[in-house]
Amino acid sequence: FIERFNRTYREAVLDRYLFRNIQEIQNITDHWLKHYNEERPHKALNNQTPIYYSQSLNKNYSI
């Protein structure tokens, strides 16, 4: 799992930008993570976003 995440991050962020400073890396990474977790469907999650999938699990397994 982590290998796939690292590859996706490298392709989507690290290979596409020439960063000027650490703050720029942080800002772009924060924006990308929001997209990755809240907007981008994932095949492994039945084409749901991780946030939606997580919320559906919490509803199904609440005590």
Structure tokens at 4: 């796939």
pLDDT of residue 20: 98
pTM of the model: 0.75
Q: Give every CB contact of residue 15 below 8 A, 6+ residues apart in sequence.
A: none
Q: How far apart are CA 14 and CA 54, in angstroms?
A: 27
What confidence tens digit (pLDDT) does each residue in 13-58 have? 999 999 999 999 999 999 999 999 999 999 989 999 999 999 888 7
Report how many domains make up the chain: 1
CB neighbours (10 Å) of residue 40? Answer: 13
Q: Which domain holds residue 44?
A: 2-60
Question: For residue 51, what are the contacts with CB-CB under 8 A and spacing of at least 6?
Answer: 37, 38
Looking at the DSSP assignment, which residues form a beta bridge with residue 48? 42
